Amino acid sequence: MRKLALVTGTTHGIGRVTARELAMADHDVVMLCRDLEAAAHVRNQLAIAAPKAAIHVVACDLASFASVREAASTVRHDFGRLDLLINNAGIAPSRHRMSEDGFELCFATNHLGPFLLTALLLERMAAAGRIINVASRIHNRGSLNLERIANPAARFIPMAAYAQSKLANVLHTFALARRLLGTGVTANCLHPGVVATNLLPRWLRAIRPILRPDLIDEERGAKTTLHLAMSDTVACVSGKYFDEHQVARTAAPAANGVALQEALWDVSERWTGLRDDARRIPDNVPTAAD
Ligand SMILES: NC(=O)c1ccc[n+]([C@@H]2O[C@H](COP(=O)([O-])OP(=O)(O)OC[C@H]3O[C@@H](n4cnc5c(N)ncnc54)[C@H](OP(=O)(O)O)[C@@H]3O)[C@@H](O)[C@H]2O)c1
């Protein structure tokens, strides 16, 4: 039977390969993308690579709460149970910008948008659904500075902002897995490797030859996501962080702090408006399939 996978950020890089491989492995795919022209181009490519798969595009700018809400509403209305929710999209901006909702753009795109999307789609997960957050090894260098995130005048250090957002991905995953215990739905996160994609800052791309053999292509960069999405060996594994070799690793000490996980959950619920939302995550998440 075909499964249904939702993947964010499939216009380029790791997400594009992830969507293609899932489509070729008996999944119908919902691509959540902000660039609809690029998404249509990728959809055409996937239709050729996987003619049996139904490939859908839903517009979504993860940096906008309104856009995420609209996309989640479309998904809930138009599609059945999700077997996979893959929060892949991400940015690593080199300059300070604020989202339309008033949050630092990297944090808004990489954490707050996916947090809201996941919360709004949780009740649509199939009984043995898998939620996968594409984090990064750089979360090891991250620390949360919540006051700066909502401060347009805060000092901006690109690498620190990106590391903070990726630490948030791991904290989110672990807090989510705790809430999902006993439901059958799993939540895991991963480091894909250092992958030669558009995400890499220009200066890092310029020293590509030096980085070899550490730098991998996007085909290899999608391997851990695909492993977590499809391997039977991780069907019951939840609340783990995997490296680029598909091995579960201990995440950074900061990511394992339950108090920090809960503090981030709390502030994310308030900032995204989930606190006042009828669709706020219930304590016991219903997962029965239709
Ligand atoms: N590359 C690496 O070395 C590396 C290492 C560790 C972790 N990661 C993580 O891997 C994930 C995928 O990154 P990648 O390397 O494949 O980068 P990429 O090639 O730049 O792809 C990023 C994708 O995210 C989408 N995206 C960006 N902002 C968005 C928004 N506001 N709303 C919706 N979609 C948005 C992009 O869409 P557009 O076409 O609209 O820009 C693109 O499809 C990210 O979470 C990244 O943090 C990457």
User: Closest Cα to residue 235, out of 123, 128, 87?
Assistant: 128
Q: How far is the CA of 230 from the centre of ligand 1 (A)?
A: 21
Q: Is 142 exposed, middle or buried (0-12, 13-18, 19+ CB in 10 A)?
A: buried
CA of residue 151 to ligand 1 center, whole Å = 24
Cβ 242 vs Cβ 191: under 8 Å: yes
Reduced DSSP (H G I as helix, E B as strand, rest coil) percent helix, strand, coil of the chain, to 5 = 45, 15, 35
pTM of the model: 0.94
Residue 192 belongs to some domain of the structure: yes
Task: Tokens 């783990």: give the residue.
Answer: 240
Cis, bond preceding 93 (omega within 30 deg of 0) = no
Catalytic residue among 65, 103, 107, 162: 162
For 3, other C-beta atoms within 10 Å of its C-beta total 19
Reported in sequence order, the residue ranges of the chain that DSSP labels E, i.e. its strands, are: 3-8, 27-33, 55-59, 82-87, 125-134, 186-190, 194-195, 215-216, 241-242, 248-249
**107, 65, 59, 7: which is closest to 277 by C-alpha?**
65
Q: Does a structural domain hold residue 179?
A: yes
Could you tell me if residue 27 is inside a domain? Answer: yes
> Considering only CA atoms, which residue is closest to atom 45 of ligand 1?
90
32: domain CATH number? 3.40.50.720
> Is residue 282 assigned to a domain?
no
User: How many folded domains does the chain comprise?
Assistant: 1
Q: For residue 141, what are the domain limits? A: 3-276
Question: Which is the closest atom of ligand 1 to the Cα of 63?
Answer: 31
Q: Is residue 289 part of a domain?
A: no
Question: What is the CA(262)–ligand 1 centre distance, in A?
Answer: 26
**pLDDT value, residue 30:** 98
Full pLDDT tens readout for the chain, 290 residues: 899 999 999 999 999 999 999 999 999 999 999 999 999 999 999 999 999 999 999 999 999 999 999 999 999 999 999 999 999 999 999 999 999 999 999 999 999 999 999 999 999 999 999 999 999 999 999 999 988 999 999 999 999 999 999 999 999 999 999 999 999 999 999 999 999 899 887 666 666 666 666 889 999 999 999 999 999 999 999 999 999 999 999 999 999 999 999 999 999 999 999 987 655 554 444 333 32
Residue 232 in any domain: the answer is: yes
The rounded distance, in Å, linking the Cα atoms of 72 and 36 is: 17
Q: Tell me whether strands 186-190 and 125-134 are parallel, antiparallel or unpaired.
A: parallel
Could you tell me if residue 84 is inside a domain?
A: yes
User: Residue 271: which of 27, 49, 68 has the closest Cα?
Assistant: 68
Substitution site in 199, 208, 211, 212 for ligand 1 pocket (most atoms within 8 Å of beta carbon): 199
**Is the CB of 190 inside a 6 Å radius of any atom of ligand 1?**
no
Active site residue 241: no
Residues facing 186 on adjacent strands: 130
Residue 206 confidence (pLDDT): 64
CA distances from 160 to 18, 31, 167, 271 (A): 27, 29, 10, 21
Indicate the residue type of 211.
Answer: L
**Which numbered atom of ligand 1 lies nearest the CA of 195?**
3
Using the structure block, give the residue that is written with the tokens 């606190």: 275
The best mutation among 133, 169, 195 to test binding of ligand 1, ranked by most ligand atoms within 8 Å of the C-beta, falls on: 195
What is the pairing mode between strands 186-190 and 3-8? unpaired
C-alpha 15 to ligand 1 mean position (Å):
7
In a domain, 190, yes or no: yes
Distance from the CA of 170 to the center of ligand 1, in angstroms?
A: 16
